[in-house]
Structure 1
Amino acid sequence: MPSPRWVVLSVLFHMRRATLSRPVGYGQLADVLGVEVGQRIPSAEVRAAVLELRRSKGMVLDDSDRDTYSLGSFFTNPVLSPEQAEQLPAGITAGRTEKFRTDLLRLTREVTKACSQRHKIG
């Protein structure tokens, strides 16, 4: 029986050189920067703020910080509704089996159901 756990094996980042950041999309980051979500500001300021936020959560390697080796998440996972999962582009499962897509949809439904029950949604 396959494991119900998923492991991220690789990540691809597309970087661009720019003086201004992309529009700030995270509320907590916008708060630290003192800007509104959606504003663009100098990239160097965003970098410094991201490092400050991560450092406050023990997510920056620092031998003098005992929280350096936190096992906290480094990214936010999107939560999709079953309808949104059904709309995923066909390429999202490229090279995967139909079972992969079926499992993805099943897990999405289970997470949605569990969240709805926990938060008394719907």
Structure 2
Amino acid sequence: MNEEEFQESPLLTARATEVAGVVVIAVEGEIDVDTADVVLDAVRLGFDTAGPALVADLTLVSFFGSTGISTLITAHEMAEGHGKKLHVVAPQRAVRRPLQVTGVADVLALYDSVDDVLSALKPVPSE
């Protein structure tokens, strides 16, 4: 995947791009019962790449409730089924707090920025 690929609904846009060999799915809008499939369809796009990880960038998500939580759990399970790890960028409290309160944050790898994820994925040089 070299080009951006979009999934859209009236309330949400998900854009999958490849950054430094990692698929980043930037989600903007509301994750709810009407838009969850748009997010999961964008995650599926990432399975076509050889990279070991997918990044779900939720920085621009404006609504995130129980459906958002279950969507991330499904995306996490789908990624594992494809031998990939899902990393979630959730810098704002509106997304991070529900994940922490429900314990889902203990299962997902949460980050404050895409750059933080990319840094964490870089191999550490051996001495």
TM-score category, normalised to shorter length: under 0.3
By relative contact order (CA 8 Å, sep 6+), the higher-ranking structure is: 2
Larger radius of gyration: 1
Please report the TM-score for the alignment, with normalisation by the length of structure 1: 0.24
Q: Which has the higher strand share?
A: 2
